[in-house]
Amino acid sequence: MSNQTKKIYLDYAATTPVDKEVLNAMMPYFSDKFGNASSVHSFGQEAIAAIDQAREKIANLLNCDFSEIIFTGSATEANNMAINGLIQNCTTYRRSSVSGINKLHIISTNIEHESVLEPLKELERAGHEITYLKVNKDGFISVSDLEKSIKNNTVLVSIIYANNEIGTIQSVKEIGKLLEKINTKRKEQGLNRIYFHTDAVQAFQFLECRPDWLKVDLLIFSGHKIYGPKGVGGLYVRKIGPIGFIGPIIKGGGQEFGLRSGTENVAGIVGLAKAVGLVFKNRETRLKKILHLRNQLLDYIIKYNKDIKLNGSLDPSTSLRTSNRLPNNLNIRFPNISNETLLIALDQNGLAVSAGSACSARASKASYVLNALGLTEKQAKESIRITIGKDTTEKEIKKAAEIINKALLNFKNLRI
């Protein structure tokens, strides 16, 4: 495909291409170094050594213990493990200090990823109590509302670090510090610890994610969102107590310290570790470049479309452009234009963007995240998500703006 006809990809929040350095690191483990990490012979030893090296590398970068990193098949699995593994353990070992009360309480938000919301709904149906904190029009929860929601039987707070649709960044460190103080008092009162979980999948390549800095107990990251392979995710689990505070949700051979049974995806794990290393190596440079391109694209679109609305935190009328929003994210509403129609028109003209989360892209209903901001069904269905990547160029940004502006002009002419 020639440069003139090459399509422009601006859906990096959905997935990213595998970095060449990541691919090169993975390749030997598809063929020459193919051993099963559970085998005792030299082929197996070679595989387990690669996993150990990957785990150690990630642990060093996150400033945590080797055994606190658990590899999974995806971030979705990691979120399910964090939530269900904790609740099952609380139920099994009766960790709630409220005698005779088995109903546990969890605090979360109404804009979490589906891999958090669906397990919570199941727990709710099983009789546990879930408090879903509401967000304001910019997509932020109130930390004071969270504090007011805590009860004696609260065992988990689960707050997404940066939202996958609107890019808003929650005050995770502030919440972590608050829970640290609350847990100190609860310990003195004989109450159970409140564990803190954050889905950091979208935040991982741009924001500080060291668990000790954030004061989190459980942190999720994913390979394919950071230029690593699909089919591999990571879960940080803080070491607390001798028996741990989460149990397995996949049982079998007892791999991953007994928390995630199944033959390890050695190539994927090696690739994930390489991708994490590249994130930490190039984070500041990447952030500045992407932020510049994001703001440039927004300016280009606003110049010819004054009536657009930006969903989430950022005022299009300001010269900006710093806010509590991921630097690569734009979620824009184009009044009176269906996002489905617009997405098709853009794709036909060589620009790939999305209507929101890739996990629910084929669903016909409006985004629950945008509804949570106060948008109507119609307004939510007029919104698209544009996310920029590390390899996006200024030329692509200018061309993308031209494609968008031309499509919008065509729609306006059709209505005349």
- The pLDDT score that the predictor gives to residue 411 is 87
Co-location of 127 and 248 in the same domain? yes
Domain containing 62 — which CATH number? 3.40.640.10
Give the structural domain span for 302: 8-17+283-415
From the candidates 64, 90, 209, 359, give the one annotated as an active-site residue: 359
What pLDDT is attached to residue 323?
A: 67
Q: By 3-state DSSP, what share of the chain in percent is helix, strand and coil, each rounded to 5? A: 45, 15, 45
128 contacts 155 by C-beta, under 8 angstroms: no
Examine the fold and report which residue of 277, 308, 339 is the final residue of a domain before the chain moves on.
277
pLDDT (0 to 100) of residue 225: 98
Q: Is residue 2 part of a domain?
A: no
Structure confidence by residue, pLDDT tens digits, 145-156:
999 999 999 999
- 64 as an active site residue: the answer is no
Interhelix angle 339-348/394-415, nearest 10 degrees: 130
Q: In which residue are the tokens 């991708």 written?
A: 275
126 lies in the same domain as 265: yes
Length in residues, the chain: 416
Same domain membership, residue 194 and residue 48 = yes
d(CA 332, CA 348): 20
- Helix (H), strand (E) at residue 81: helix 75-93
Q: Is the Cβ–Cβ distance between 361 and 335 less than 8 Å?
A: no
The strand pairing partners of 310, in sequence order, are: 332
Q: What pLDDT is stored for residue 320 in this prediction?
A: 44
**Within this chain, do residues 180 and 227 fall inside the same structural domain, yes or no?**
yes
Match 């853009």 to its residue by tokens: 346
**1 domain residue, yes or no:** no
Whole-number pLDDT of residue 329? 96
Mapping DSSP onto H, E and C, the string for 226-292 reads CCCCCCCEEEEECCCCCCCCCCCCECCCCCCCCCECCCCCHHHHHHHHHHHHHHHHHHHHHHHHHHH
Q: Do residues 183 and 144 share a domain?
A: yes
pLDDT of residue 412: 78
Residue ranges of the chain whose pLDDT lies below 70: 1-4, 92-101, 241-243, 315-323, 356-364, 415-416
Does residue 75 sit within a domain? yes
Spatial contact of 178 and 172, defined as CB atoms under 8 Å apart: no
